Amino acid sequence: MPAMMEQLAWDLEADIVVLGCGAAGSATAIEGHDRGAEVVMLEKMSARHAGGNTRVSGGIWFDNVDPARAEVYLQSLCGRFKLPQPVIRAWARETARNSEWLEGLGAKIGRHANYTPEYPELDGSDCYGGYVGIGGQIGNALLFDFLQSAIRQRGIEILYETPGQELITDPESGRVIGVSATRNGKPFRVRARRGVVLATGGFENNRDMVRDYLGLANSPVWGSPAGTGDGHRMALKIGADLWHMDNMMAIVGVGTPDFPSAFATLGLVGEKGYVFVGLDGSRFVDENVQIRHGHALIHGRYELYPLQQAHVIFDERTRRAGPLVPQPEYMPVGWNLLVENYVWSDDNQTEIDKGWIVKSDTLSGLAAKLRIPGDRLEKTVALYNRYCAVGEDEQFGRAPATLIPLLKPPFYGFTSSPILAWSNGGPRRNENSQVLNAFGETIAGLYAAGTVSSTYSWCKDGGFHIADALAFGRIAGQHAAHPSP
């Protein structure tokens, strides 16, 4: 054993040290334990706030009914942003095992509605068997709670409020041998005899990283405030390479200074009157373009969407047509609904009173409040209303059934920044979840799984992220328990 290793004072040791207790960290810990390793988990947040985006997600994963075709589907979804074939193969093989694995742990799983693939036009989409979830249900932290109970059953220790801060390496070999964390305000060092697994989630809450890698400024998040790119920076510090750092999912929604997280306005769809306008007051898109988890088919190509700040404009009729943000009985997802327990009002009035949504009796008054210059907003709405009257949107081809005019004052608006749902990129890893350096070599003793280093370089389908976190979390646990080169 190198001299340096012997001299370090360790507060704790285990075979595998897992950072983060979301889906990826939990899958790693359970699998590592079940393969005979002693596992300890360090979690940044308190027990009440732990679990990252997993806790506040839909918690449903896609049913991969044909791994061979799933390989083809993922290749198609990557488009020009190719992934190494061994990673694709491991993803296709392991995502097909998720349901069986969870059932093996005692979960009762079921189909959640009959979802079809979001990219039916792409080769391989026939592998997509819909959404599966705990009890066939979405949200309400059902998956997170199940994984936590499986961890408790095994006696795996989770040290909450213990954020990992730096990786400790052997100075001679460069191997990762532990983690330096903080606990009760003091340094806390944990030795990892076999490996450290980064499962710290994304970097959505790190303003500098979001600006530098995703090109978004001031975008609030939809999920947990815990994803601040800690694992990314720990890995960078010891020479890890990065992959697909510019990929993400954003969504239209309302930010508020009252919560660390924002609201996705999923209630604003289809046959309701509203337009999206740019900061100059002009429309720029078919507002009902099919959004496919962060991408949309626009001008014949898949684009990240929504990507730009925009104002959402609607009228009194739309205000009364139902909540902009679905209530928990319809869609129990998102930090504000599940952790802050905020229930959006039926008629959106409470949120207007709070000033989260701006109101004016006239379009010109609304434009002034939203700082839209000149009379552009009035002209835009007048033109849109004409399209509604003739049943044809000559500019963007919005579906006739959704062309509902904005006629009834008062008028309302909010600025969508947009809301950042998740980042996708992180430390580059291989099919064994091992982190790679800039020369394509594995960094011994270091693994990454889940959103800290998701597989997705470009488009992805619904339920792919939980599936990815579980799949590569398990792989990390297996490999770290019995490391091979």
Stretch that binds ligand FAD, among 303-311, 363-371, 406-414, 444-452 (CB under 6 A): 444-452
List all residues 6 or more positions away from 124 whose beta carbon is below 8 Å from its beta carbon.
69, 70, 71, 72, 73, 74, 75, 76
Exactly one of 72, 156, 226, 324 binds ligand FAD (CB under 6 A); that residue is 226
**Taking CB under 6 A as the rule, which mask of x and - marks residues 362-401 in contact with ligand FAD?**
----------------------------------------
Question: What are phi and psi for residue 213, nearest 5 degrees?
Answer: -95, -35
199 binds ligand FAD (CB under 6 A): yes
> 21 with 41: CB under 8 angstroms?
yes
Looking at the Cβ atoms of 22 and 255, the one nearer to ligand FAD is 22
Stretch that binds ligand FAD, among 114-122, 319-327, 427-435, 466-474 (CB under 6 A): 466-474
Exactly one of 12, 16, 30, 50 binds ligand FAD (CB under 6 A); that residue is 50
Looking at the Cβ atoms of 148 and 318, the one nearer to ligand FAD is 148
Looking at the Cβ atoms of 222 and 276, the one nearer to ligand FAD is 222
23 binds ligand FAD (CB under 6 A): yes
To ligand FAD, the closest distance from the beta carbon of 461 in angstroms equals 9
To ligand FAD, the closest distance from the beta carbon of 48 in angstroms equals 11
Nearest to 149 by CA among 306, 21, 37: 21
Nearest to 311 by CA among 411, 206, 212: 411
Buried b (16+ CB within 10 A) or exposed e, 50-61: bbbbbbbbbbbb
30 binds ligand FAD (CB under 6 A): no
Total residues at interface with ligand FAD (CB under 6 A): 46
Looking at the Cβ atoms of 94 and 315, the one nearer to ligand FAD is 94
To ligand FAD, the closest distance from the beta carbon of 135 in angstroms equals 14
425 binds ligand FAD (CB under 6 A): no
Antiparallel, parallel or unpaired: β 310-315 and 411-416: antiparallel
Which long-range contacts link 165-168 to residues 24+ away (Cβ below 8 Å)? 165/230, 165/234, 166/234, 166/237, 167/196, 167/234, 167/235, 167/237, 167/238, 167/446, 168/8
Binding interface with ligand FAD (CB under 6 A): 19-25, 42-45, 50-54, 56-61, 163-164, 199-201, 222-224, 226-227, 230, 333-334, 421-422, 450-452, 463-467, 469
